[in-house]
Amino acid sequence: MPRILSRIDQAIHQFDNVLRTLVPGAAVASRPTPAGKEIEDGEMSAEERHHAAGLMRINHTGEVCAQALYQGQGLTAKLPEVRGQMEEAAQEEIDHLAWCEERLGELGSRSSVLNPLFYTASFGMGALAGAVGDRVSLGFVAATEEQVGKHLDKHLESLPAGDRRSRAVLAQMAIDEAHHAQQALEAGGARFPGPVKAGMTLMSKVMTKSVYRI
């Protein structure tokens, strides 16, 4: 029988999650990076490397938002199995976070200084969705993962031809995100209407435009 955590234990656990998400180098992947040693980059100009770093910075911040979303929802989800699913998905997203951070370092760049701001906003939205109900919470996960998948597809097209290592990372991330979206729907998540998804798209554009450079 799993041990029931006290409120203090839960607070410590939550603070640990925040640190692992926001402190550079704290995220540790459970799976090896898809950009293994056998994958080597081709020739890239300084401008192409700068562009690739901007895209990977967006993806890194996207994973920060995903962590916050899952953590917020896990805090307020009603059913234990839903909380468990949120925690499992969050662990897989940690892999993405670590992979993107590693790739940013290889490109001679860094993560966005705006990450704490986006983390806070995403955590609040996740907690609110979880408080409304598990069906809405799971639907929010599915809709968010669909948005992330669209971003990844665009980035795969936009990456410089020589950036094979970033491409390998994003390709695996796209597979994982599609799986998370499907899981959320199969668990009973609501399918959000078009206007809601349009609003989410608008919010994501704010993030991508700012994080690409900052």
- pLDDT > 70: percent of the chain: 78
Which one, of 108, 121, 123, lies nearest residue 57 by Cα?
Answer: 108
Q: Which residues of 54-64 are buried (b: 16+ CB within 10 A; e: fewer)?
A: bbbbbbbbbbb
Identify the weakest region by mean pLDDT among 101-105, 181-185, 191-195, 207-211. Answer: 191-195
Hey, what domains does the chain have and what are their CATH numbers?
A: 44-211 (1.20.1260.10)
Check the annotation: does 155 bind a ligand: no
60 appears as a binding residue in the annotation: no
Q: Annotation-wise, does 177 bind a ligand?
A: yes
State yes or no: 13 annotated in a binding site: no
Given a cut of 90, whether residue 66 has pLDDT beyond it is no
For the question of whether the overall pTM of this predicted structure is more than 0.85, the answer is no
180 marked among binding-site residues: yes
| 63 annotated ligand binder | yes
Label residue 142 by pLDDT band (50, 70, 90).
confident
Among 26-35, 45-54, 66-75, 82-91, the least confident range: 82-91
Name which residue leads in pLDDT, 82 or 163. Answer: 163
- Torsion angle of alpha carbons 56, 28, 123, 187, nearest 10°? 100
Q: How far is CA 48 from CA 51, 91, 101, 138, 211, in A?
A: 5, 31, 18, 38, 17
